[in-house]
A and B are shown apart, each in its own frame.
Chain A
Amino acid sequence: MAGKLMLFGKIAHNIPGSSIQRCAMSSYVRTLIGKREIVGFGFNGEPNYVDRTDFPLPAIRWKEPSPDVLTLREKEKGDWKLLSIEEKKALYRASFCQTFAEFKAPTGEWKSVIGLGLVFISVAFWIFYGMKVFVYSPLPDSFKKENREAQLRRIIDLQMNPVEGIASKWDYEKDDWKK
């Protein structure tokens, strides 16, 4: 990576490009980008193109050079006030795929995320119901109403959690819940 930073430093200082071209030939990745010009470090030093807000200047231009764009580039070296709006836009689109406004535009993906999430939750509910009907054995006797009432009566009689818990809600004089 230090080598790539030195490379970028060479570009910034306008050193003749022959040494840069020699380095550019040595990676398989660089054969994938076609004739597109490498213009910087990008986000990881590889010659790739991604529209990102945190790395706004990709390593390569978006489009391969065409004669029109090359003439515009020559014009770009002069005073920018002489460029028309259409020419500026053409230069932008040659170097970039989308504008910030375009790639930051809301996609509505959150709706599909929530929707699909709820669909899977519903499936889970059905699976649970199927388990209850076909797989689980019957509940033990202690779940019956009379058994649970007897358990509660025993808990109250033993005065369990008498300060802040269940027995604190019971009135032992009247043998009923506190009003």
Chain B
Amino acid sequence: MSGEVSKVSKPQLRGLLQSQIKKNLILAIAVASAAAVAQKFLLNDRRKNRYAEFYKSYDIDKSFEQIRSKGLFDSC
């Protein structure tokens, strides 16, 4: 048992909190920015484009007639 241990590297004993904070801060900022960029391109812009496409060909008077002819409006 005692002949097979591997050499363990010495852990950082001084300034650990500061170095951990630095590393974690950079990591957190990177992940948050990546998430924000992904959100913008994959979700926000997609939705805006879908709304733009819809309203390009939307005829509101035609929709109004369709709904009115089925008797679903109370006022007309």
Measuring CB to CB, which residues of chain A are less than 8 angstroms from any residue of chain B?
A: 154, 157-159, 162-164, 168, 172
Contacts and interface: CB of A to CB of B under 8 A. Distances in A.
9 shortest A-B CB distances, which residue pairs?
Answer: A163-B54, A157-B70, A163-B51, A159-B63, A157-B72, A158-B72, A164-B50, A158-B67, A163-B50
Contact of B54 (A154, A157, A158, A162): A162
A121 to B, nearest CB: 33
19 contacts: A154-B72, A157-B66, A157-B67, A157-B70, A157-B72, A158-B67, A158-B72, A159-B63, A159-B66, A159-B67, A162-B54, A162-B63, A163-B50, A163-B51, A163-B54, A164-B47, A164-B50, A168-B54, A172-B66
Nearest to B70: A157
Most B Cβ at <10 Å: residue of A154, A157, A162, A168: A157
Contacts of A162: 54, 63
A164 B54 CA distance: 9
B74 to A, nearest CB: 12
A172 B65 CA distance: 13
Contacts of A168: 54
Contacts of B67: 157-159
A26 to B, nearest CB: 37
Contacts of B51: 163
Interface string B40-64: 0000000100110010000000010
Contacts of B66: 157, 159, 172
B43 to A, nearest CB: 12
Contacts of A164: 47, 50
Nearest to A162: B54
A164 B47 CA distance: 8
Contacts of A172: 66
Nearest to A154: B72
Nearest to A164: B50
Nearest to A168: B54
